[in-house]
């Protein structure tokens, strides 16, 4: 029976032109039953017309993509310009390279604080800082930038800082600053002034003050003997740092100096009283001496009660 059924199906397929009958699939309704049916008749198009349509579609997509990219480029340019304006407003520190009293290390540190707070990339940091170079420094930077090899490392912050300091703050000057820091002593200045000098000179010798303990040791070595012992004891506290130590030394110095001034003021009245007593004593003694002299010079009467002073007689008088 299966053989006969298969043969009958094959004959029906031959009658339908070799296309098997299509049944209704899923939940679809027959074509004759569907509502709002629109018959679509594809137009007859040549291969050339199809290629032109594809080219037009590609051109339209490219135009739309460019419209999306151009605002982004404009936004980036506006951001860079805004950052440059903010940097020039915040930073008034310039470096000429032609003045003797200029501090290259201080210039690098000050401008780095600003560009680091702006959150720019290392490349932008070096670019922004270069705008603050004037005169000799600007000429040097432009020459160095143009002569850099193409295959060299990008001009980031690290490369710029190293090259800049090698040019304007050579090793000889750095060693001189290091010696000044090693020989720094308080001597005749206050603890506050000493702490300011210590902080200023410490940036030239980072290896000597690489940690908190080393900074405190170096600070106490040059501090005055008036507060040195107390500072050494304060260093033993585990939570002590260089800034707390300097504040403690400053307060301790002021306390001791006030005490010394009070003691000196107390000693002055005693000295004055003593000097007054000595003056009175000397006056009394001198008056006693004068009285003695006067009493000794009183006329002594002899047998006739005459004076002990002999009157000088003139050679021609009394004859």
Residue finishing a domain among 169, 203, 235? 169
- Helices vs strands, H then E, count in the chain: 11, 0
DSSP symbols for 267-278: HHHHHHHHHHHH
pLDDT of residue 295: 53
Sorted by sequence, the CB contacts under 8 Å of residue 161 that are 6+ apart come out as: 108, 112
Nearest to 162 by CA among 102, 121, 135, 122: 122
pLDDT of residue 125: 86
Residues 209 and 257 both lie in one domain: yes
Instruction: Tell me, yes or no, whether 66 lies in a domain.
Output: no
The pLDDT > 90 percentage for the chain reads: 22
**DSSP, res 16:** T
User: Mean pLDDT over all residues of the chain?
Assistant: 74
Residues 179 and 154 both lie in one domain: no
| Structure tokens given for 232 | 């050494």
pLDDT of residue 61: 76
Q: Quote the CA–CA distance of 45 and 53 in Å, as a whole number.
A: 10
Helix (H) or strand (E) holding 142: helix 135-147
Residues 128 and 185 both lie in one domain: no
Average pLDDT over residues 63-71: 60
Residues 82 and 131 both lie in one domain: yes
pLDDT at 293 over 70: no
Residue of 133 and 116 predicted with greater confidence = 133
Q: Quote the CA–CA distance of 255 and 197 in Å, as a whole number.
A: 22
Instruction: Tell me, yes or no, whether 18 lies in a domain.
Output: no
Tell me the β-bridge partners of 95.
133
Instruction: Tell me, yes or no, whether 24 lies in a domain.
Output: no
Residue listed under structure tokens 């006739």: 304
Residues 145 and 229 both lie in one domain: no
Residue of 46 and 203 predicted with greater confidence = 203
The residue segments making up the domain with residue 108 are 78-169
Residues 153 and 204 both lie in one domain: no
137 pLDDT tier (thresholds 50, 70, 90): very high
Q: Quote the CA–CA distance of 214 and 204 in Å, as a whole number.
A: 15
Residue finishing a domain among 127, 151, 169? 169
Residues 253 and 226 both lie in one domain: yes
CATH number at residue 242: 1.10.1200
Residues 209 and 237 both lie in one domain: yes
| Structure tokens given for 258 | 């006030």
Residue finishing a domain among 147, 169, 191? 169
Average pLDDT over residues 59-72: 64
Contact 131, 87 (CB under 8 A): yes
Instruction: Tell me, yes or no, whether 260 lies in a domain.
Output: yes
pLDDT at 56 over 50: yes
Instruction: Tell me, yes or no, whether 186 lies in a domain.
Output: yes
Instruction: Tell me, yes or no, whether 65 lies in a domain.
Output: no
Q: Quote the CA–CA distance of 197 and 187 in Å, as a whole number.
A: 12
The pLDDT > 70 percentage for the chain reads: 61
The three-point CA angle 304-305-308 to 5° equals 115
pLDDT at 271 over 70: no
Least confident of 34-38, 134-138, 218-222: 34-38
249 pLDDT tier (thresholds 50, 70, 90): very high
66 pLDDT tier (thresholds 50, 70, 90): low
Note the Cα 293 to chain centre separation in Å: 83
Rg (CA), the chain: 53
Q: Quote the CA–CA distance of 237 and 184 in Å, as a whole number.
A: 25
Residues 155 and 229 both lie in one domain: no
pLDDT at 203 over 50: yes
Residue of 57 and 212 predicted with greater confidence = 212
Instruction: Tell me, yes or no, whether 124 lies in a domain.
Output: yes
Helix (H) or strand (E) holding 50: helix 47-90
pLDDT of residue 231: 92
pLDDT at 141 over 90: yes
The count of domains in the chain is 2
Instruction: Tell me, yes or no, whether 198 lies in a domain.
Output: yes
pLDDT of residue 65: 66
Residue of 76 and 214 predicted with greater confidence = 214
pTM of the entire predicted model: 0.49
Is 51 exposed, middle or buried (CB count within 10 Å of its CB: 0-12, 13-18, 19+)? exposed
């Amino acid at each position: 029976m299966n053989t006969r059924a298969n043969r009958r199906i094959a004959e029906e397929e031959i009658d339908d032109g070799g296309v098997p009958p299509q049944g209704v699939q899923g939940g679809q309704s027959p074509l004759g039953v569907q509502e709002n049916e629109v018959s679509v008749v594809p137009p007859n198009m040549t291969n050339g017309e199809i290629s032109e349509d594809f080219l037009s579609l590609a051109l339209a997509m490219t135009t739309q993509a460019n419209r999306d990219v151009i605002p982004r480029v404009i936004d980036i340019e506006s951001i860079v310009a805004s950052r440059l304006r903010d940097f020039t407003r915040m930073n008034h520190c310039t470096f000429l390279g032609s003045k003797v009293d200029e501090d290259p290390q201080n210039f690098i540190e000050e401008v780095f604080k600003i560009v680091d707070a702006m959150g720019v990339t290392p490349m932008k940091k070096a670019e922004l800082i270069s705008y603050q170079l004037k005169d000799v420094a600007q000429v040097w930077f432009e020459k160095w930038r143009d002569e850099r090899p193409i295959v060299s490392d990008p001009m980031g912050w690290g490369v710029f800082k190293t090259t800049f300091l090698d040019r304007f703050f050579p090793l000889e000057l750095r060693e001189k600053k290091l010696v000044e820091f090693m020989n720094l002593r308080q001597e005749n200045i206050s603890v506050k002034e000493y702490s300011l000098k210590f902080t200023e000179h410490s940036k030239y010798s980072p290896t000597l003050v690489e940690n908190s303990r080393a900074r405190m040791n170096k600070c106490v070595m040059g501090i005055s003997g008036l507060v040195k012992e107390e500072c050494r004891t304060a260093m033993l506290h585990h939570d002590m740092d260089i800034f707390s130590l300097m504040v403690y030394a400053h307060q301790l110095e002021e306390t001791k100096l006030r005490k010394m001034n009070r003691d000196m003021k107390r000693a002055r009245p005693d000295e004055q009283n003593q000097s007054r007593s000595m003056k009175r004593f000397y006056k009394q003694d001198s008056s006693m001496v004068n009285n003695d002299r006067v009493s000794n010079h009183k006329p002594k009467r002899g047998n006739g009660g005459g004076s002990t002073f002999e009157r000088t007689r003139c050679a021609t008088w009394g004859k």
